[in-house]
Structure 1
Amino acid sequence: MDRVYTLNKVELSEIKALLGELYARFSTVENEEAALACEVAATRLPAGLLALLRIVASGYARSGYILIRGFEIDDEAIGDSPQHWDQPWHDRPYLREELFQVLLSSAIGGVFGWRTQENGRFLRHIVPIESVKNEQLGGSSATTLMWHTEEAFHIGRADFFTLMCYRNREKATTNIACVDDLDLPEATVEILRQPRFIIFPDKSHTPVENSSEQWKLNAEAFSAIQEMMDNPQSVSLIYGRSDLPMMRVDQAFVSPVDGDEEAAAALAELHEALDRAAITLQMEPGDIVLLDNLRVAHGRSVYQPDYGPKHRWMRRVNIDNGRRINFGLRDSQKIRIML
């Protein structure tokens, strides 16, 4: 399967018509009604594009990702790049772009947010933030963002997610490695399939990284995260069928069980194998990359932002398509919110 799909003029026209319908109905994508409308509209995406997305959604696509190009962003119309992820939820000049990303994401499954990450926002802003430039967070820039799968520590992590590029004049690269492409000895894989590793929650799910001017922080929402910090459970890093393996990776937050030198060696081998298997994407405005979060690890290169009105700007959307039974982890009133 070709890993890059370029939208043609006919497809762009059909997508523009769908976006027009959605734009006329909603001032935000951040609610149940808009998300459901995007799921319904996604069934009317151009046939060739929809078929490709459904193939990837099955989880059987060996590449583990697909890059979709051809959507044009009006650089002036979307306004300045945000200086922080903490932005208003309504009446934004980039609503058209948000609808496009949710529309394509909804062909894969249902979009969702995390209560412990921006209070459940579906579309996260990923922009450079100088105060965290050296951290393992999306807002970093002065350090390589290490290999990870989204929410590797959590059983309810996304099946898939999309990244959309609004701006990238710094030419930062997104690094990708699929579990199918890892060159590892069978003995190492066997160790990685055993529950001999601990993955702690990353910093984006802590209260200090969720303080916002848009909502009042609910400390109680973080109790489950704190429990995972205080009493972590050992897990395997590679799991599932041998002919269609899955993996969870978070290089900055994973460690072997105390004293397990064999597991420590296998973990080092895994990270080295990810480095060898890596491919890099230099995304351009309008690009969307869809990644299989159960089979693909990703990261990001170092880059130098000027923290100005045109600095790098990406958006991320989590997708659940039923590949894991996790309804018991959902908010009973708002099913698109993971607890």
Structure 2
Amino acid sequence: MRPLRHDEEHDGRRATAGEERVLAYRAIPAEATVALAPEELDHFVREAARIRAAHVQDTLDNPRVLAAAEIAAQGLPDRLLTRLIELRTLSGSGAILIKGLPVEGALPDTPAGVPAPPAWPALAVSTLAQLSIMSVLGDTISYADEKGGSLIQDVCPVPGAEARQENTGSQLLELHTEDGFHPFKPDFLSLYCLRGDHDRVAGTVTASIGSVLGRLPRRCRQVLGRPLFRIRYSSSFVGDGPECRTPEMPVLSGPPHDPDLCVDFHAMEGTTQESKEALELLYEAMKEELAGVVLAPGDMIVIDNRVAVHGRTGFRPKYDGRDRWLRRCFAVADLRPSRVLRDRGTRVCASIL
């Protein structure tokens, strides 16, 4: 790995099959960061209060609430809208970091266990900020198999789940495409920080296929483009049932010079020796290009799930009501294909099993 400046280096470690995985990362660059001043959000905060008053009895999945959030996005600062449009339409870093977003002044305790999420009006400003920003990228979507189909999902450590390779864990979370096994996986995801971890060490990391493509051998790229890989479904979708895996699929798809990426370095396996070797080469290349951030309250990272992986370094929860608390939201560029799994008027995909 190329040398890292000491003040930009963080490590995440997890013992895996007798070896220690390490994720070292650089800070997300300034050109991929949008820092907002409080006055830039005055209009939006007022809109959030108006929407809450008009729709306090409605669920977030109500088309009128989602339409109101999308209309409110027109009041976001132009420079933020420009970066979101670039993320949606151009192949770049695969992620942007937004800083300075509003967080409610009187947050409740970080949810413990796997409770029902707080009713959205209790967190109206941050909820509507996240929905509005995601509406610039596409249509919000969720999955009945995961967190009850909530459009805004709480990501918090859960006692007893520390080692799980899921959002409930607190040990190192391996690089992956979000829900890569799903036929209608999200095109974009956002993680909005309401409360950071106690020790300020939980680094959210990401890297795009565009940043590593040129360093992969030609044969490796060819193998990654063939249907020689399978992903194991997340236990958050299958519960304690038998393991399920996707049919054989490629890691890279689309134009060879600008491919899409679908990979999971914990749950994906190659079905041949050559495909296993190609997957390892890709992993090592991705680790070289990681950028990340320890999210603070008011930070939101937005990831292009079509071309970028993400993960998280480990941290130590205390389960004291003040643990790390993120809120996650998904969007797809085109909602229509998923209608085979959705009832009319809802953004929630029914179970795939």
TM-score bin (small chain): 0.7 to 0.9
Partner residue of 1:250 out of 264, 267, 270: 264
User: 2:329 is matched with which residue: 305, 317, 330?
Assistant: 317
Instruction: Determine the C-alpha separation between the residues in 1 that align with 2:138 and 2:294.
Output: 26
2:266 matches 1:236: no
Give the match for residue 123 of structure 1: 152
Contact 2:203–2:293, Cα closer than 8 Å, also in 1: yes
What RMSD, in angstroms, separates the aligned Cα atoms of the two structures?
2.1
1:38-53 to 2 correspondence within 5 Å?
A: 38-53=69-84
Q: Secondary structure at the match of 1:107?
A: helix
Maintained 8 Å contact 1:147/1:250: yes
- Residues 170 and 312, structure 1, Cα contact 8 Å, conserved in 2: no
1:80-99 superposed matches below 5 A: 80-88=109-117, 90=119, 93-99=122-128
SS of residue matched to 1:229: coil
Specify every segment of 5 or more residues in structure 2 that has no aligned partner in the other structure, as ranges. Answer: 1-29
- Report the residue type matching 1:194 in the other structure: R
Q: Describe the SS at the equivalent of 2:40.
A: helix
Alpha-carbon distance change, 254 to 91 in structure 1, aligned in 2, over 3 angstroms = closer
TM-score by length of 2: 0.83
Q: 1:10-49 counterparts in 2 under 5 A?
A: 10-27=39-56, 28-49=59-80
Equivalent pair of 2:178/2:186 in contact (CA under 8 Å) = yes
Whichever residue aligns with residue 288 of structure 1, its letter is M
Separation of aligned partners in 1, 2:117 and 2:270 = 40
Q: Aligned-pair distance for 1:151?
A: 0.7
Deviation at 1:89, TM superposition (A): 5.0
Unaligned runs of 5+ in 1: 209-221
Please name the residue that 1:175 is paired with.
Answer: 205
CA contact (8 A) 2:102 2:298 kept: yes
**Aligned partners of 2:220 and 2:284: how far apart in 1?**
12
Tell me how far apart the structure 1 counterparts of residues 207 and 182 of structure 2 sit (CA, whole Å): 20
Question: Cα offset for 1:32?
Answer: 3.0
Answer with 117-126 or 15-24: which moved more.
15-24
What is the number of equivalent residue pairs in this alignment?
A: 315
Q: Give the 5 Å matches for 1:1-339.
A: 2-27=31-56, 28-58=59-89, 60-75=90-105, 77-88=106-117, 90=119, 93-141=122-170, 143-168=171-196, 169-171=198-200, 172-182=202-212, 183-208=215-240, 229=244, 232-257=246-271, 260-322=272-334, 326-339=337-350
**AA matched with 2:204:** T
Aligned-partner SS, 1:16: helix
**Maintained 8 Å contact 2:178/2:185:** yes
> Counterpart of 1:338 in structure 2: which amino acid?
C
Deviations 1:35-73 (A, max 9, x none): 222122223323222222122122x14111111111242
- How far did residue 187 of structure 1 move? 1.2
Tell me, yes or no, if the aligned pair for 1:164 and 1:287 is still in contact at 8 Å.
yes
CA contact (8 A) 2:104 2:126 kept: no
Deviations 1:64-99 (A, max 9, x none): 111111124245x11111113422452653222111
Q: Give the corresponding residue for 1:214.
A: none
Give the Å deviation of 1:240: 1.3
Can you list the C-alpha shifts for 1:130-164, whole angstroms capped at 9, x where unaligned?
Answer: 211011111111x2100111111122101101110
- SS state of the match for residue 93, structure 1? helix
Deviation at 1:18? Answer: 2.1
Quick one: structure 1 residues 14 and 95, their matched pair in 2 at CA, closer, same or farther if it must change by over 3 Å? closer
**What letter is aligned with 1:139?**
T
Instruction: Check the 8 A contact 1:122/1:317 in 2, yes or no.
Output: yes
Residues 93 and 170 from structure 1, CA distance in 2 versus in 1: closer, same or farther, beyond 3 angstroms?
Answer: farther
Structure 2: which amino acid aligns with 1:277?
Answer: E
- 3-state SS of 1:131 partner: coil
CA separation of 1:122/1:41 partners in 2, compared to 1, >3 Å: closer, same or farther? same
Contact 1:198 1:256 in 2 (8 A): yes
